[in-house]
A and B are shown apart, each in its own frame.
Chain A
Amino acid sequence: MSIASGQQAVQRPAGPPALGGAAMPTAAPPADLAAGLRRTANTTPGRLSIAMMGLVVLSLLTGVIGLASFTGRSNTIADLLTHREPVSTAAQQIYRSLSDADATAADAFLTSAVMPATLRARYQTDIAQAGSALAVAATDSAGVGAATAPLAQLSTGIPVYTGLVERASANNALGYPIGSAYLREADSLMTSTLLPAAQTLYAIDTQRLVDAQDSATSFPWFPALLGVALLVVLIITQRFVRRRTNRVVNVGLLVATIGVIVAMLWSTTAIVLETVHVADGRSSGSDPGATLAQIRTKALQARTDEMLTLVARGGADYTKQYNGFVTDIAGTDGSGGLLAQVHANSSDDTTTRQIEDATTAAKSWFDLHKKAVTANSAGDYPTAVAITLGSGQASQGNEAAAFDRVDSALEQAIGQARVDFANQTGTAQTWLTALPIGVLVLLVAAAAGASIGIWQRLREYR
């Protein structure tokens, strides 16, 4: 106690400036303030006061930063669920619906003078679907400059496209060959302007999704470093208090330490689990979903090209494009390509089964295409058309049905991938539900514990 009373004697003059410094920080010139602090730091109660203030400020700062950081993270995940993924899917839907509308128009052109009811319904659904997906994609483009141009191209171009198709259809119904010229003009608008715009939009929205996923799985360095620093300061303070007061346990500081440790354990656990689930949502949901959507689009383009080959009676360009798409989808031997890649990476049993269905259906589609090509190059154009459109006898084979099987299997797999994404990302979000407030409460408690604990010791110096 002799050391303590000796210091107590020194403390008396040093005490008031420390208090004064705390009450009127703006009044003291910096040099005086530094000197005052230095004097204060040389006394035990002075050091205790500084430690108390430091701990309170650091705890509250950590709590507020934690609140902001984890709330931001939680918002990012909510945004993933409610904006990024739906908008990216909507952009993909625009591309897919427009491609399908174009393919359907070409199909109808091959079939007869008047668009058959089923094809007309499909075409109209595609156009309506593209329009409503465009509305979804457009609502979320504010502040994304790069998205303005493709959105404008799409929203001004789609009405022009439908006008051309209707004009083609009217001329076709009258038996005028100019109908096919309007259809070609429509196809040219689609492939040279609308589809590239949809592609750009999809690329932008997918990048935004990936960026948001990256940000939701990044390590929260700032709150983590603050937490570690706080814990270190707490431990040092406790060792100091124990040495100077000969008390093993300071309840207030202990409570503060436990509060900080609980906050750190909780946030570490929650962040790790959240990161794992967001990453899972990406690897089992949005990533395979994107690849599946890519396969579905390529399949559709291949289908359009094989029909245009027949429409154009020759068209080496279309045949070349078809072969390119088929190689992309299933590789050169029918068992590779994107389908094999997405199958190998699939972790969901339902998705895997649907991908297998799509692969099987794609095989039979490609085989039937070879049959149609053989018929066409042997001079049997009607059989080639019958196989391709599935309008002939059952024995001839039906490419349209095979393609539809591929398309619907892929559609289901994409749906399943979306479900997986939503489940995983939703779970990730639940881990963060109480975390921001919890961390704040714990750190406010830590601040209170530290100040009460140290205040009790300080009182002993009065």
Chain B
Amino acid sequence: MNRRSLLPALGLALLLAGCASTTGPVDLATVHSVAPPVPGGIAVGKAAVPTPAAPSPSCGDPTASLRPPAVMPTPGQMPAGSTMAKIQQRGFLVAGVDQNTDLFGYRNPADNKLEGFDIDMVRDVAQAIFGDPNKVVYKAISSAQRIPSLEAGSIDLVARTFTITCDRIKQVAFSTVYFQASRQVLVPLDSSVKSFADLAHKRVCATTGSDSLGQAQGTANAPVPVAVNDWSDCLVMLQQGEVDAVSTDNTILAGMVAQDPNTKIVGDSLAAEPYGIGIPKANQDFVSFVNGVLQEVRSNGSWVTSYQTWVKDRLGPTPAPPQPTYSN
């Protein structure tokens, strides 16, 4: 090749390089959709209900508990060797509670104190042991932590919208019923959902370890379960439009309506949800002591006071306190 032919060849190559350029406009990183923020520990669908809800074998009446002692010990003078004496020795009661559920157990942002119906029950127990309702160390636990914490013995009792069921009494002991709740559904004001039947294929929120999701799965045309750590996470998801409904006890739902006037409670009151105070199975003496405390709470008017303070505005006129049933 000589120099004369080199130059045009070079020019041609340059020209071709120019024609072959297929560079488009610069990518502007257009966003078409965005994943919404979700609460930590969320699980959706099958992952939300790890164990398929097998129908619990009948266990008779799970709410039947131990009869209170004939004479309640004087506060500050617990019988030697009893569970209560150990608690008295320690100087404070350790209670597993919720700090996120309005009306039952929540932290008042104004003063950092825990308040609610469940908290009142804990304070009554502390009053009976120490003569001082403030001698309590509260441990905020999630629904899923209730049974493991009791089994580990790291807490004395759980007062956290804890429904007494046949499954649970195999693992922990319960006091007598101190509140009778019922299952309902929370939806936005403009929702077309009127009953449980309308929830088919909708996203329904409940907490991990609560009994709401398993039961929801039992229905025909099952909804899509969404499990989170705390009930307040469910209201967050509802407000953010990430779930269509929250299915749980009317007590918890009432607390949500109290925080968001754009929601309503619908559906017939389904399955009764009797709340009891959970206690480690080994501490039978403490179960019977707590039942004695609850008996006093029912009879001396403090149950009515708690009801009126926390839930009357939301759940209607004050009923009679739930009557205890005893197994012995």
Contacts and interface: CB of A to CB of B under 8 A. Distances in A.
Interface size class of A (residues with CB under 8 A): 35 or more
A181 B98 CA distance: 12
A172 interface: yes
Interface in A290-312: 312
A429 B160 CA distance: 67
A381 B99 CA distance: 14
A118 interface: no
A410 B256 CA distance: 45
A161 B37 CA distance: 8
Given A188-B38, A313-B99, A314-B139, A181 B108 contact: no
B38 A177 contact: no
A192 to B, nearest CB: 7
Interface of A: 26, 109-110, 112-113, 152, 156, 160-161, 164, 171-182, 184-189, 191-192, 312-315, 376, 378-379, 381, 385
The A interface, classified by DSSP as helix, strand, loop or mixed, is helix
A180 B236 contact: no
B91 A177 contact: no
A29 to B, nearest CB: 13
A112 B111 CA distance: 7
Contact of B100 (A156, A172, A180, A314): A180
Contacts of B260: 178
Contacts of A164: 37
B298 interface: no
B124 interface: no
B38 A181 contact: no
A189 B36 CA distance: 10
Given A26-B2, A171-B259, A176-B259, A181 B140 contact: no
Contacts of B100: 177-178, 180-181
A176 B259 CA distance: 6
Contact of B39 (A171, A181, A376, A381): A181
Nearest to A177: B106
Contacts of B229: 184
B99 A181 contact: no
A189 B37 contact: yes
B40 A176 contact: no
B101 interface: yes
A175 B236 contact: no
Contact of B99 (A26, A176, A180): A180
Contacts of B138: 313, 381
A379 B99 contact: no
B109 A113 contact: yes
A181 B40 contact: no
Contacts of A179: 109
Contact of B137 (A112, A177, A379): A379
B16 interface: no
Most chain-B CB neighbours within 10 Å: which of A172, A174, A177, A385? A177
Q: Which 10 pairs of residues, A with B, have the shortest CB-CB distance?
A: A188-B40, A181-B232, A379-B92, A177-B106, A313-B140, A113-B109, A314-B139, A176-B259, A379-B137, A172-B109
B213 to A, nearest CB: 18
A191 B39 CA distance: 12
A1 B239 CA distance: 107
B3 A176 contact: no
Contacts of A113: 109-110
Contacts of A109: 109
B226 interface: no
B107 A188 contact: no
Given A180-B232, A379-B137, A381-B138, 5 more contacts: A113-B110, A175-B110, A177-B100, A178-B100, A178-B236
Contacts of A161: 37
Most chain-B CB neighbours within 10 Å: which of A152, A181, A189, A315? A181
Given A112-B109, A313-B138, A314-B139, A178 B38 contact: no
Contacts of A185: 37-40, 233, 236
Given A178-B232, A178-B259, A156 B109 contact: no
Nearest to B116: A177
B141 interface: yes
Contacts of A178: 100, 102, 232, 235-236, 239, 256, 259-260
25 contacts: A110-B112, A156-B34, A172-B109, A176-B109, A176-B258, A177-B102, A177-B107, A180-B100, A180-B109, A181-B39, A181-B230, A181-B235, A185-B38, A185-B39, A185-B40, A185-B233, A186-B37, A189-B37, A191-B40, A192-B40, A312-B140, A313-B99, A313-B138, A314-B139, A378-B91
A112 B140 CA distance: 19
A315 B236 CA distance: 22
Contact of B29 (A152, A177, A189): A152
